[in-house]
Amino acid sequence: MKAIERIKTGITELDQITGGIPKGRSTILIGGPGTGKTIFALQAAVTSAREGLNVTYLCVEESPEDIRHQAAVLGWNLKTYEEKGILRMVDMVAPRAMNTLERKRAGSSQRKMDLFTIFNKMDDDTDLVVVDSIGCFIDPDIQIFRDQFDLILYQLRKKNVTSIIIMDASTSSEMKDIGMFLAYSAIRMEKKENTFRGRRERIMDIVKMRSTDIPLQPVQYEITDRGIVII
Ligand SMILES: Nc1ncnc2c1ncn2[C@@H]1O[C@H](COP(=O)(O)OP(=O)(O)O)[C@@H](O)[C@H]1O
Ligand SMILES: [Mg+2]
């Protein structure tokens, strides 16, 4: 059987351990605020763009402007890829606010944006899509979320699109971690107390990655001025 192709994340040690995230499959990234989910996704997006892959970055939580700024701090100039048309930063913050406003005005007659709304903004020639993050589009009904997410993963798979889907830890636990079960790969990022050393550490757990030999132990990482580094 042919081995699954991989996409590099640009996190060198992670790429060495796993070979990269499985191409044409979904990777869900779960973590609390400030754990580095956006930086992880940016690092992967820039790495793919450098290799000439078409990347769509769906900005749901932070505006493209803020994301570009965070990237610039880490030495990544997104504009160069955007100008070449390799990277597309899609603003979902403004449409989301407009939707809320319209719903406030029109009452319940205006439909709330859902998971499908996000992925409709993705161009067909996309190789890698990042959703940062899907939290606000999740239906509170777990059954509905499961069905929608399942269908979206199926559609992405059929189009052979690789996806990095960010979900905050609180939403994930509200949804009983179903996202992790449905996705092809799941990575959890955490800040943990190391009582032995008496300080906090950043821990990345590759919870699962189908068709990949992964370490059982979580790895420790740092956020540096050049992005995420595993130590
Ligand atoms: N240049 C940097 N050097 C070290 N740490 C940084 C740097 N830039 C950002 N960080 C850290 O990364 C965190 C934010 O990462 P981010 O990816 O936005 O988190 P998340 O998306 O999970 O909320 C900040 O709280 C900060 O601690
Ligand atoms: Mg973020």
Question: Which of 9, 29, 39 is the pocket-test mutation for ligand 1 (most atoms within 8 Å of CB)?
Answer: 39
Has residue 111 got a pLDDT over 90?
Answer: no
Nearest ligand 1 atom, CA 70: 8
- Ligand 1 and 106: CB distance under 6 A: no
Mean pLDDT of the chain: 95
For ligand 1, atom 26, name the residue with the nearest CA.
34
Ligand 1 centroid, distance to 223 Cα (angstroms):
6
Give the confidence band of 2 by pLDDT, cuts at 50, 70, 90. confident
CATH architecture of the domain with residue range 6-230: 3-Layer(aba) Sandwich (3.40)
Give the confidence band of 106 by pLDDT, cuts at 50, 70, 90. confident
For 50: left if phi > 0, alpha if psi spans -120 to 50, otherwise beta; the answer is alpha
Cα separation, 172 vs 176, whole angstroms: 6
Domain residue limits, the chain:
6-230
Other Cβ atoms closer than 10 A to 85: 10
Other Cβ atoms closer than 10 A to 118: 23
- Ligand 1 and 25: CB distance under 6 A: no
Helix, strand and coil in the chain, % to nearest 5: 40, 25, 35
Query: Could you tell me the pTM of the whole model?
Result: 0.96
Ligand 2 centroid, distance to 64 Cα (angstroms):
12
Q: Are 202 and 223 in contact (CB under 8 A)?
A: yes
Nearest CA among 104, 94, 10, 100 for reference residue 55: 10
Share of the chain above pLDDT 70, in %: 100
Q: Which residues of 144-177 are buried (b: 16+ CB within 10 A; e: fewer)?
A: ebbebbeebbeebeeeebbbbbbbbbebbeebeb
> Can you read off the two tokens belonging to residue 64?
């493209």
Has residue 47 got a pLDDT over 90?
Answer: yes
Ligand 2 centroid, distance to 36 Cα (angstroms):
7
Q: Are 161 and 24 in contact (CB under 8 A)?
A: yes
Other Cβ atoms closer than 10 A to 24: 18
Q: What is the mean pLDDT of residues 186-190?
A: 98
Has residue 184 got a pLDDT over 90?
Answer: yes
Q: Are 149 and 113 in contact (CB under 8 A)?
A: no
Has residue 108 got a pLDDT over 90?
Answer: no
Nearest ligand 1 atom, CA 189: 22
- Output DSSP code: residue 200: E
Nearest CA among 78, 153, 81, 164 for reference residue 127: 164
| Nearest-5° Cα angle at 113, 170 to 56 | 80
